[in-house]
Structures are given as C-alpha cells and as structure tokens.
Structure 1
Amino acid sequence: MGRRRGTMSEGFKNELAKELGFYDTVQKQGWGGIRSKDAGNMVKRAVEMAEQRMAEENRNRH
C-alpha cells in the first residue's frame, strides 16, 4: 500500500509544531520522531483553525 500525499503544507505543519511545542523534535528527528499524541494534537489544532476560518467567512457573508 502506497503512502498518501499529505494535505497540510510543510510550512503549515512547521507552524503548528512550533505553536504546540515540539518543533525541536521535528528538526532533530523529522516527522517520524514525534509522538502519536503530538500528531493528534496537530490535527486537532488544524481542524480548530479551519472551523474558526469557516465561522469568520460565514459571519462576513451576512
């Protein structure tokens, strides 16, 4: 089974890793070095940001 291409840009992932406090691990060990919990928190934060952006767009339409 082949790897799926990621949907988050590398820059966005780096930004989230910095915000969540594990960017140093990414720099030293790559993305494979982060904990599952950190990856989950990263996805959770990305979803929160997307929801906030959608809510703002909906407010601006009305």
Structure 2
Amino acid sequence: MSRRRSIMSEQFKEELAKELGFYDKVKQHGWGEITANEAGSMVKRAVQMAEESLRNRDKT
C-alpha cells in the first residue's frame, strides 16, 4: 500500500501541535500517538487560519 501525501507540511503540523500544546507528545512518540480529538483540533485550527488568510486577502 502506498503512502498518501500529506496536505499539510510537516513544519506546519509541528507549528499547530506547538500552538495547541501537544508537540512534546508528537516529538516523543510520533504522530500516531495523538488522539482523534487532537487531530481534529489541528484540522479545525488549520481551517480557521485559511479562512482568516482569505478574509485578509479579500480586504486588499
């Protein structure tokens, strides 16, 4: 089975994990150890950031 390419870069995921407070867990145990709730929080925050970026882009 081939691996799917991630939509988010590794750096962006790490930044989100740091912001949301579980980067230490990722660093120690890898991405496979985050909870579904933590993964959902990452997606939610990424969507919020994208929406903010679009709003700011439309203002100019």
Cα distance in structure 2, aligned partners of 1:28 and 1:19: 17
TM-score computed with the length of structure 2 as normaliser: 0.94
Superimposed CA distance per residue, residues 6-36 of structure 1 (whole angstroms, 9 cap, x where no aligned partner):
1100000000000000000000110001001
Q: What corresponds to 1:4 in structure 2?
A: 4
Q: What corresponds to 2:29 in structure 1?
A: 29
Cα distance in structure 1, aligned partners of 2:56 and 2:45: 17
Q: Does 1:41 align with 2:50?
A: no
Q: 2:36 corresponds to which letter in structure 1?
A: S
Identity %: 58
Offset at residue 3 of structure 1 (A): 3.3
**What CA RMSD, in Å, does the superposition of the two structures yield over aligned residues?**
0.9
SS at match of 1:47: helix
Offset at residue 4 of structure 1 (A): 1.8
Q: Which runs of 4+ in 1 moved over 2 A?
A: none
TM-score computed with the length of structure 1 as normaliser: 0.91
Structure (1 or 2) with the larger CA radius of gyration:
1
- Equivalences, count: 60
